[in-house]
């Protein structure tokens, strides 16, 4: 498998609509290098290929859904008093993704 490169990280960042400084790019590359080293250590464990992947960290994990219970809600007008800008029953927020 090939190593991640600065160009690859920049390309992925661009696809995610973010920009990285050279320092941030290096930090990402260093992190991928650490991950690669960790995977190499794991792959050296004898018999690792025979281990079944887990879907949860606990072998005996079970869950039960609780019954729906109707509870009194806080009136929307009271909740909207905490917002700086509103439009009817909606909160206006600053656009965070560029065009």
Which parts of the chain fold into alpha helices (H)?
6-15, 22-43, 76-80
- The tens digit of pLDDT for each residue in 50-67 reads 988 877 777 777 778 889
Q: With 60 as the cut, is the pLDDT of residue 23 above it?
A: yes
Q: With 80 as the cut, is the pLDDT of residue 98 above it?
A: no
Domain boundaries, the chain: 6-50
The residue with tokens 């991928």 is 32
Mean pLDDT of 80-86: 91
Mean pLDDT of 33-45: 93
Q: In 3-state terms, what secondary structure has residue 49?
A: helix
Q: Directed axis angle between helix 22-43 and helix 6-15, to 10°?
A: 110
**Whole-angstrom distance, CA of residue 91 vs CA of residue 89:** 7
Give the model's confidence band at 94: pLDDT under 50 very low, under 70 low, under 90 confident, else very high. confident
Output 17 or 59, whichever has higher pLDDT: 17
């Amino acid at each position: 498998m090939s190593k991640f490169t600065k160009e690859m990280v920049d390309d992925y960042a661009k696809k995610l609509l973010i920009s990285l400084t050279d320092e941030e790019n290096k930090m990402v590359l260093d992190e991928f290098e650490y991950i690669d080293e960790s995977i190499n250590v794991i792959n050296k464990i004898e018999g690792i290929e025979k281990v079944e992947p887990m879907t949860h960290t606990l072998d005996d994990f079970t869950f039960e859904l609780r019954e729906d219970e109707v509870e009194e809600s806080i009136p929307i007008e009271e909740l909207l008093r905490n917002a700086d800008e509103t439009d009817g029953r909606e909160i206006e927020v600053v656009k965070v993704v560029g065009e």
